[in-house]
Amino acid sequence: MIFSNIFVLIFLGGTAFSFLLDMILERIDFSFRKKHGREIPEILSNQIDAQTLDKTCRYEDAKYNLWIPSIILEVMLSLYLVFCGFYPALLGEICTWTENSFFTAVLFLILGGIPGALLSIPFALYSEFGIEKHFGFSNMTFGMWLADEIKGFFINLVIMAPLLLAMIGLFKYASDWWWILLGCIYFVFSLGISIIYPIFIAPIFNKFTPLEDGQLKTRLEELLKKCGFKASGLFVMDASRRSGHSNAYFTGFGKSKRVVLYDTLIEQLSPEEIEAVLGHELGHYKHHHILKKLLFMIPAVFVILFAISFLIKIPVLYTSFGFFIDGEVPYQMMFIGIFLLSLVFGEWGSLLSPIMNFFSRRDEFQADAFAKKICGTGEHLCTALIKLNKENLSEIQVPKIYSIFNYNHPPLLERIAALRK
């Protein structure tokens, strides 16, 4: 490794920056929670009790205490794998097994991810069976957890393999235009995944049953009709089989669109409150938030791919991390260039978090305002948010700087203030 190389310096700087930023922000939140976490805001004096706040603080502290060693070991492992030459050695070993560029890339990504996956296993197990189960959220068994991990691995592999095959083929045959074609393929592929996900992928993990006839279904169908939202159905997901956390969401595209309610959500909220939650989700639809994000992402992806198309042709990107390049970069090595660029620039993504979170929170306020308008009152959404906050043991008050970097939704008190404005 050449430590004076600009790519190595950017990698080291990004790793240090991201690590220190996360440590500082989490410490600020921890200290704030110690001082104010058990204070009952006046606006919630009739809905939140001291026992719930105490449990929330203990839950957040438990996650924080697990996060500290996990992030330290994660950074140490990342640095070690780069410094010890693990990745060039892995590529060299794979090349003795196969000369096929596609299989080389697949094996490199799978085997290169094993050290990080092995490190994460004990932390994931303790989080699920030590913390989540202790605080009454997890209903998982080890068999269910293991099955989910295995299914998730193979689904990701099946999804990523066609994109990887297309990328290798474009490197070889599309020359300088590969980045344009890959961007087009990526968006068409993403659209296809959004269509097949609710029908074929989601049922692999959960059972989805049509919402039973009754007051709730009638209210929700009338709300959908009022908003002009055509869905293939209202479905209940058996979330309680795994967790006590609750949620509701839209999924799919076109005729595959469906509204999904967690069974835990139906148990925790009244029909009026569920209607308000759905009204919030419909607010995203009516304000075209997903379309606006897509219109932003399309040019952004092409700009990033364009920059990558130049950077992966620089031999020093490879040699500075221990890979051997003699002359021009061959197309068989370009996937390594993309992998190295993800290492070099990936940790600097934290700089974009405040900007992305700002626009996301703005969208959430707009969706809340739409729910208030369409439901005739914002009070049902307020009580729903309070109940969900209590049931999920989410922090009520957080430091401003922490929410700027980590919250893509406005904190609870800000949402209630805006709804009651």
Cβ-contact 381, 280 below 8 angstroms: yes
3-state secondary structure of 351: helix
Instruction: Collapse the DSSP code of 399 into the 3-class scheme (helix H, G, I; strand E, B; otherwise coil) and give the result.
Output: coil
Bridge partners (DSSP) of residue 234 are: 259
Counts of helices then strands in the chain (DSSP H, E): 18, 4
Phi and psi at 331, nearest 5°, equal -60, -30
For residues 419 and 236, what is the distance between their CA atoms, to the nearest angstrom?
28
In this structure, which amino acid lies at residue 3? F
Q: How far is CA 247 from CA 128, 239, 243, 265, 291, in A?
A: 18, 9, 11, 6, 22
Strands 234-237 and 258-262 come out as parallel
How far apart are the C-alpha atoms of 212 and 268, rounded to whole Å?
17
Structure token digits, residue 212: 């039973």
Can you name the residues that pair with 209 across neighbouring β-strands? 236
260 conformational bin, left if phi > 0, alpha if psi -120 to 50, beta if neither: beta
Using CA atoms, how far apart are residues 323 and 329, in angstroms rounded to an integer? 11
Length of the chain: 421
Compute how many other C-beta atoms are within 10 angstroms of the C-beta atom of residue 174: 16
Q: Which residues are catalytic?
A: 281, 368
Print burial letters for 16-48: b (CB count within 10 Å at least 16), e (below 16): eebbeebeebbebbbebbeebbeeeeebbeeeb
Cβ atoms 242, 225 nearer than 8 A: no
Going by C-alpha positions, the residue among 121, 178, 176, 180 that lies closest to residue 146 is 121
Rg (CA), the chain: 24
Q: Which residues contact 3 (CB under 8 A, 6 or more apart)?
A: 9, 12
